[in-house]
Structure 1
Amino acid sequence: MFVTRFAPSPTGRLHKGHAFSALAAWGAARAAGGRFLVRIEDIDPTRCRPEFEAGILEDLAWLGLDWEQPVRRQSDHLTDYAGVVDVLDRRGLLYRCFRTRKDILDAIGDAPHGPAEAVRPGPHPADEEATLLANGRPFAWRLSLDRAREALGARAWEALAFVEEGEAPAGERGLIRARPETAGDVVVARKDAGAAYHVAVTHDDDLQGVTHVIRGQDLFEAAHVQVLLQALMGWPTPVYRHHRLLTGEDGRRFAKRDQSVTLEQLRAEGVSPVTLRAELGF
């Protein structure tokens, strides 16, 4: 059965870009006679707020969408994601990284081979790591691409791929070879903040039986990392369907950080959901 989801983070209210993505996923599920899920991705306790979650659900209902209950809230399942990190660690695929973002940016500037080399800092020497641990320095768990490649084997590594039914930023479609190396040794967890986005989203897509991931082109590169995690954990890879990003009159894409006009504001201005849906092509 066709299963897709809309998975916003409650760090603000929805804007037109979110509405387009939610309507695309909901419409695809209805057309396929499938299931539409809403998932609240709120693993960042510093930015996510309950009032934004309530507002998101209010906005989706105003748009005329319906979805299965209950809504999965990721903050209720942090132990699930910690379990994934533990599996990866016990398999020897992770290493502790005590370097700060500034340390890594400085390394990028000094790297003789450019940024591609700098995003793979590698583990600290054993004695240095022991000292840092003893001093209580915070660290992140990074997924070692070298160890992941060894664990999968050369043939499986070369076969990492996903089907793109939408349109990638460069126009690619069909079977696309995954390139996790472009992201480097990604952070999968932090000592004080738990599992990172890639772990939580791939775990939940598998748990909820998601067959199609429908989202904006800004998340296209994330698919390359997620395919690797799916292979390492033995999870199926969904079909991906990335769509164009909506832009405003200034040509910039709608984004929370740019304080784009929200659906709440449009509703207050008297815009009807029928009018907005027609504007967005639904």
Structure 2
Amino acid sequence: MPSPLPSTSNYIGRFAPTPSGYLHFGSLIAALASYLDARAVGGRWLLRMEDLDPPREMPGAQDAIVQALEAYGFEWDGSMQRQSKRHAVYEEMIERLLREGLAYPCLCSRKQLEAYPGPYPGFCRDAGQPLENAAIRLRVPNLEYRFTDRVQGKFGQHLGREVGDFVIRRRDGLFAYQLAVVLDDAWQGVTDVVRGADLLDSTPRQLYLQELLGLPQPRYLHVPLIIQPDGHKLGKSYRSPPLQPEQATPLLLRALRALGQPTAPELNDALPGEVLAWAVPRWDADLIPRTLTLAEAQLV
């Protein structure tokens, strides 16, 4: 629900779920970390639905996500924004990048690229392909982009060798996450991005886009994923039940402990909002572990 809390700092954070499924415990850890990191310094916390991919969207997931956040006591500032309402902005940027020669049409199919599992080999880079039925790829420089994550530490990725020219609009016309998230974070004035570590290796691409477009660079904090014994992350598609309203308090406490934060016995009978209010002034991002196994998460 929208928050009545006044902002006392320039910090702007956000939680940006994808409605391809319901929120699960891993989602809760990311939402909780981003919420507490913002509220602990009197900052704003925004909610944005990243509904870029209708074919993968689960019917009813958007409403279920909002209802789960409300049941778990989260309050956000302003109204929820949807990426599906921003298509004209993304398209305008695609046209600009094409015009300036920073992006190009690509007609390579997945089947063609199966024999090249590494970075995109650049077949269409200078081929002058037509725009019709083409994906749009961004030209990347032969440079390494580095940053220091607040939890994961120093991270770098060489865009030319490790990534290659990446898609910013798919052949089916759908816009890619990398472009949309950069434009939307800048539009909303986001100063701090707190999200799951599965997006750590997306950050160098976003740093390049921010530099290319003259946009400010947020600080980043990537919370640990819960890794299962077989190496899979706990997620929407793999052994991760949706959050249930009646489990809000115990799961919030478990999520706090997974993030290395303190809890107290008296919180066991508290309402979800009371748990969050107790946790805000005690938040310490320096206590967040870099990794978290399923066994460790079950013990907290």
The residue correspondences of 1:50-89 to structure 2 (distance < 5 A) are 51-89=60-98
Verify: 1:3 aligned to 2:12, yes or no. Answer: yes
Verify: 1:278 aligned to 2:257, yes or no. Answer: no
Equivalent residues of 1:119, 1:183 under 8 A apart: no
| Aligned-partner Cα distance in 1 for 2:233–2:91 | 34
Name 1:162's counterpart in structure 2: 147
**Residue 83 of structure 1, CA deviation:** 1.3
| Aligned-partner Cα distance in 1 for 2:168–2:18 | 18
The residue correspondences of 1:241-252 to structure 2 (distance < 5 A) are 241-247=221-227, 252=232
- The alignment covers a number of residue pairs equal to 247
| Aligned-partner Cα distance in 1 for 2:231–2:101 | 46
Q: Normalization by structure 1: what TM-score?
A: 0.80
State the percentage of identical aligned residues: 34
Name 1:23's counterpart in structure 2: 32
**Residue 191 of structure 1, CA deviation:** 4.4
Moved more, 230-239 or 254-263: 254-263
Equivalent residues of 1:82, 1:194 under 8 A apart: no
| 1:103–1:164 distance in 2 versus 1, CA, 3 Å | same
- Look up the equivalent residue of 1:70 and give its one-letter code: S
| Aligned-partner Cα distance in 1 for 2:18–2:29 | 16
Candidates 154, 163, 183, aligned match of 1:183: 163
**Residue 49 of structure 1, CA deviation:** 4.5
| 1:119–1:23 distance in 2 versus 1, CA, 3 Å | farther
The residue correspondences of 1:9-158 to structure 2 (distance < 5 A) are 9-49=18-58, 51-108=60-117, 115-116=118-119, 118-123=120-125, 125-126=127-128, 129=129, 138-146=133-141
CA offsets 1:187-240 (integer angstroms, 9 cap, x no match) = 011243232111100000000011111011110000010000000100011111
Verify: 1:227 aligned to 2:207, yes or no. Answer: yes
| Aligned-partner Cα distance in 1 for 2:230–2:171 | 41
Name 1:152's counterpart in structure 2: none
SS at match of 2:14: strand
Q: For structure 1, list consecutive stretches of 5 or more residues without a partner in the other structure.
A: 109-114, 150-156, 168-172
SS at match of 2:220: strand
**Residue 247 of structure 1, CA deviation:** 4.0
| Aligned-partner Cα distance in 1 for 2:68–2:238 | 19
| Aligned-partner Cα distance in 1 for 2:167–2:115 | 18
Q: CA RMSD in A?
A: 2.2
| Aligned-partner Cα distance in 1 for 2:169–2:127 | 20
**Residue 107 of structure 1, CA deviation:** 3.5
Q: For structure 2, list consecutive stretches of 5 or more residues without a partner in the other structure.
A: 1-9, 258-300
**Residue 246 of structure 1, CA deviation:** 2.1
Verify: 1:236 aligned to 2:216, yes or no. Answer: yes
SS at match of 1:163: strand
Q: Normalization by structure 2: what TM-score?
A: 0.76
**Residue 143 of structure 1, CA deviation:** 0.8
